[in-house]
Structure 1
Amino acid sequence: MKIHKEGRRILLFTLLGLLVVNLLLYQFNAIHVTFNKIFSAISVIVFLLLLQFFRSPFRNLILHEDLIIAPADGKVVVIEDVHEPEFFNDVRKQISIFMSPINVHITRNPVAGVVKYFKYHPGNYFVAWHPKSSTKNERTTVVVSSTAGPDILFRQIAGAMARRIVWYVKEGDEVSQGEEFGFIKFGSRVDVFVPVDTEVKVNIGQKTKGGQTVIAQIKTETGSFFG
């Protein structure tokens, strides 16, 4: 397992800062040995928590053009038909995955294709499971014209803890299924919008792994499913 590039600078500065504070405490606060030991233990825990947050584990990706793969690690919290106003302006099936602080926070392309639309929206920081977070929070919207046919929209959404969204795609880019398209720092959510006749392969409450869990299967023009 390696450390994601988004965390390397944060981890370095955090490590240096904690080392300096601990050295100063031991030098100028020598009589309070117990306090120094407690602070050192807390420092180690904080650093290890940051280390696990920015981990980038190896994944054997599941690749197939008719399958929609989970864009993130987390838990399925929404499966419903909703009106999508930003790009489609019609009814789509929404599948939402909530990412807790202990999840891997890499976000991956659920399908292969060409980026047809991209937009960054500044916004609020409601908790990620709040109904308004999908349209009111800081977020990015990506629409990929999939190799299987339909346009698939997916959205990174910042939460109460997540205060920075990073993305690596722009309109016109050709993207591969399962490759990284971004990173969300410290807990959030990813929404995926698919045609309403798409066959959903997950259930509410089910845990997902980005790049590995099949969340849906795209319907063909003939009305049957691939595979």
Structure 2
Amino acid sequence: MKMRDTFIKPMHPEGRRFVAIFAAITVVLFLVWEVLGWVGLGLTIWCYYFFRDPQRTTPTRAGLIVSPADGVVSLIEPAVPPAELGMSDQPLTRVSVFMNVFNCHVNRAPVAGRISAIAYRPGKFLNASLDKASEDNERNSLCIDMEDGRQIAVVQIAGLVARRIVCFVTPGTEILTGQRFGLIRFGSRLDVYLPDGVPPMVNIGQTMVAGETVLADLLSDEPARVGRTG
């Protein structure tokens, strides 16, 4: 990898108009006062960085569930999947990955399969790290049917700053593990509802990389992992 590639990442097309707006405002700020112009330039660079879309190397071994988002595991708890998906009303293990405004916000499929349902629900814009954000905030939920007949729900949740959830796929789409399926603008969270009896292989506070970090293993009988912060 070239040194340039370490710092310069591809930008998702969704970010082009935002970067253009930031850049235009920056030009005006330079005309008004140079100090403000430099502030605007910094914000323009941040906006580009926010919409970065780096390549990821996804593990392809059967049974692996990968993280759908960059960020930190903020919650692991039993919860019922969103009712609008029409899935089981029994609690499943929910793993929440919180993305701050400096994380890459492109979302990737946790497993391969067929998207059987997508349901958008408007809502509030509470801090996405809070537990009640799963119920109260704007969200877009997807149900993925896997080859073995089991289902996984993945939910895009808007955050305190986020005001726009983007989804690139439609019901009936066949998706691959790690494939891009959406993004959320400016701070948010992704929830994954694991199939019944599948323990997570991550811990609260663990840093996740979308499309790469293994979140769980459908074929493993290993118990849920415990971790230590140090």
TM-score (norm 1): 0.88
Task: Find the aligned partners of 2:63 and 2:149 in 1 and give their Cα distance.
Answer: 9
Contact 1:98 1:128 (8 Å CA) reproduced:
yes
Q: In the alignment, what sits opposite 1:55?
A: 52
Q: In the alignment, what sits opposite 2:43?
A: 46
Q: In the alignment, what sits opposite 1:140?
A: 140
Q: In the alignment, what sits opposite 2:16?
A: 8
Aligned residue identity for 1:215: L
Aligned residue identity for 1:151: Q
Contact 1:11 1:50 (8 Å CA) reproduced:
yes
Please give the per-residue CA displacement for 1:167-210, whole angstroms capped at 9, x wherever unaligned.
01121111111011101000100000012311311111000000
Alpha carbon RMSD of aligned pairs, Å?
1.5
Q: In the alignment, what sits opposite 2:156?
A: 156
Higher strand share: 1
Q: In the alignment, what sits opposite 2:228?
A: none
Contact 2:28 2:37 (8 Å CA) reproduced:
no
Q: In the alignment, what sits opposite 2:121?
A: 121
Range that drifts further, 192-201 or 153-162: 192-201
Contact 1:75 1:207 (8 Å CA) reproduced:
yes
Please give the per-residue CA displacement for 1:17-70, whole angstroms capped at 9, x wherever unaligned.
2213322x2xxxxxxxxxx23212211211111111111112112223301000
User: Unaligned regions of 5+ residues in structure 1, if any?
Assistant: 26-35
Task: Find the aligned partners of 1:182 and 1:21 in 2 and give their Cα distance.
Answer: 33
Q: How far did residue 84 of structure 1 move?
A: 3.0
Please give the per-residue CA displacement for 1:81-135, whole angstroms capped at 9, x wherever unaligned.
2233513211101011000000000000000000111101111111102222112
Match of 1:75 among 64, 72, 77: 72
Q: In the alignment, what sits opposite 1:37?
A: 34
Q: How far did residue 137 of structure 1 move?
A: 0.7
Pairs aligned (count)? 211
Task: Find the aligned partners of 2:177 and 2:141 in 1 and give their Cα distance.
Answer: 17
TM-score (norm 2): 0.87
Task: Find the aligned partners of 1:218 and 1:60 in 2 and give their Cα distance.
Answer: 20
User: Unaligned regions of 5+ residues in structure 2, if any?
Assistant: 1-8, 223-230
Task: Find the aligned partners of 1:179 and 1:85 in 2 and give their Cα distance.
Answer: 22
SS at match of 1:68: strand
Counterpart check, 1:112 vs 2:112:
yes
Task: Find the aligned partners of 1:127 and 1:177 in 2 and give their Cα distance.
Answer: 28
Pair member with larger Rg: 1
Contact 1:139 1:157 (8 Å CA) reproduced:
yes
Task: Find the aligned partners of 1:115 and 1:129 in 2 and give their Cα distance.
Answer: 26
Task: Find the aligned partners of 1:90 and 1:42 in 2 and give their Cα distance.
Answer: 50
Aligned residue identity for 2:11: I
Aligned residue identity for 2:27: L
Q: In the alignment, what sits opposite 1:19?
A: 27
